[in-house]
Amino acid sequence: MKRYQLAVAVKEQEYMRRLADYVRESPLGEQWQVTAFTNAEACKEYVKQGYSIDLLAAQPELLNELKERLPNVPTVALVMKPGESKEENELQQFQPLPLLLQRLFEFHAAAAGKLAHTAAAVEEASGVQVISVYSASGGVGKTALALHFVHAASSHRYRTFYLNLERWHTSDVWLGRMQAEGSSEGEGEGEGEGLSELLYGLKSQPDQALRWLMEHRKRHPLLKGDYLAACTNPEDRITLGAEDALSIVNVIAGSGHYDLIVIDLDDGLDELHTAIFERSDEVLWVLNDDASIRRKQMMALRYGEQKWGKRFERLSHKFIFVKNHAASTAQPIANELGGLACAPVPLPEVPEWRGEATVTLLSSPLFRAAVDRLFKYILKEGGEGVADR
């Protein structure tokens, strides 16, 4: 998994040590690696040896020596006071490290946004894996699986984004009141600017959408993954079309900050669902032992074939049925569902979650372990992979 390289060139060694230690010990260390230089020649030699730099932050004197050698690298001048350099991007060097780093990464996101429509950005976005979690029936554990899948991916060092596209957003039941990193004091889960504002930005200022995403994404400290607050206006989600949904996915994928996007879908089946299925690498269909729920899955499959014909049929290799609330393997249901793939990892019943208004995220070791095995099966981290079935 790629980590972005932040090169910092300043003359104060103690400053460099504090900055590097802070990044290494914080969640930022999963996405960024800091390389420190106290003189321009050391940085030039570093580049000469073939190492890449994704963002260069340097004092003006050192930056002047380095810019000619690094013409395509985004740069930020670290100054004592605003206007001290002639650079477009300036930051005061001595300020709280969390604020300094936030602004640095915003500069990087803005630079990446300028490339969003280039072939390089398209190629980078195509390398992001997308896993959708779906069921033709509500109440079968889609959100529980999706959130635990994010945690499993993050545990395996995947940079992961959780995208909830349910009409009636219920992930706050799981995320609870825990403060998200980067949110304002008193701002609870699911509050603040989110999908509604991103949608507006995609329509009105598409070239600024990536920067907005980088500034407003939230990070959950337990999941160690990023997400956005739900639509502040429910009508925005109810009227959300396939094209807009794909635009949301593509701006996340095109940011270059993620290896995996986990999409939590509702139980409808319309053009939006089909478009997301097409954009996904795998679609996890969740069911359980309830005969009516399994019947609904079969009805949804038949409807998809009738509605979209060959287009839907071509998606069938992506569908993987996951049995939740199970005491035994899911494999015997394969014949019921037209022989489509069934994950050999059933998810256990968690009695303490049943009927609760709020549940504690990651509170079941058995469920966590099962989803971790499912993650390895899907992403081929171990054992037989989906492509090998």
3-state secondary structure of 328: coil
> HSE (CB half, 13 Å, CA atoms) of 273?
24
Span 9-34, average pLDDT: 84
Question: What's the CA dihedral at 325, 328, 333, 334 to 10 degrees?
Answer: 120
CATH class of 122-388: alpha beta
- Whether residue 57 is predicted with pLDDT greater than 50 in this model: the reply is yes
Give 3-14 pLDDT, tens digit per residue: 788 899 999 989
Give 260-316 pLDDT, tens digit per residue: 999 999 998 999 999 999 999 999 999 888 888 888 989 999 999 999 999 899 898
Euclidean distance between CA atoms 10 and 63, whole angstroms: 9
User: What single DSSP character describes residue 333?
Assistant: G
Give 102-152 pLDDT, tens digit per residue: 788 777 776 665 544 444 444 445 579 999 999 998 888 899 999 999 999
Q: How confident is the model at residue 338 (pLDDT cuts 50, 70, 90)?
A: low
Span 203-213, average pLDDT: 83
Euclidean distance between CA atoms 273 and 165, whole angstroms: 10
- Whether residue 320 is predicted with pLDDT greater than 80 in this model: the reply is yes
**Percentage of residues in the chain having pLDDT higher than 90:** 34
Return the pLDDT at 281: 93
Tell me which amino acid residue 101 is: L
User: What single DSSP character describes residue 217?
Assistant: -
Q: Domain residue spans in the chain?
A: 4-113, 122-388
Higher pLDDT, residue 188 or 244 = 244
Return the pLDDT at 33: 85
Q: How confident is the model at residue 258 (pLDDT cuts 50, 70, 90)?
A: very high
Return the pLDDT at 175: 73
- Whether residue 367 is predicted with pLDDT greater than 90 in this model: the reply is yes
Fold for domain 4-113?
Rossmann fold (3.40.50)
Most confident of 118-122, 237-241, 325-329: 237-241
Asked if the domains 4-113 and 122-388 are classified in one and the same CATH topology, the answer is yes
Average pLDDT of the chain? 81
- Whether residue 187 is predicted with pLDDT greater than 50 in this model: the reply is no
Euclidean distance between CA atoms 294 and 140, whole angstroms: 11
Span 209-232, average pLDDT: 88
Q: How many CB atoms lie within 10 A of CB 266?
A: 20
Least confident range from 62-76, 155-169, 179-193: namely: 179-193
Q: Which helix (H) or strand (E) holds 146?
A: helix 142-155
- Quick one: tokens of 378? 């899907």
- Whether residue 328 is predicted with pLDDT greater than 70 in this model: the reply is no
Most confident of 50-64, 84-98, 270-284, 318-332: 270-284
Return the pLDDT at 302: 92
Q: How confident is the model at residue 339 (pLDDT cuts 50, 70, 90)?
A: low
**Percentage of residues in the chain having pLDDT higher than 70:** 82
Asked if 152 and 371 count as a contact pair (C-beta separation under 8 A), the reply is yes
3-state secondary structure of 222: coil
Tell me which amino acid residue 313 is: E
Q: How confident is the model at residue 1 (pLDDT cuts 50, 70, 90)?
A: very low
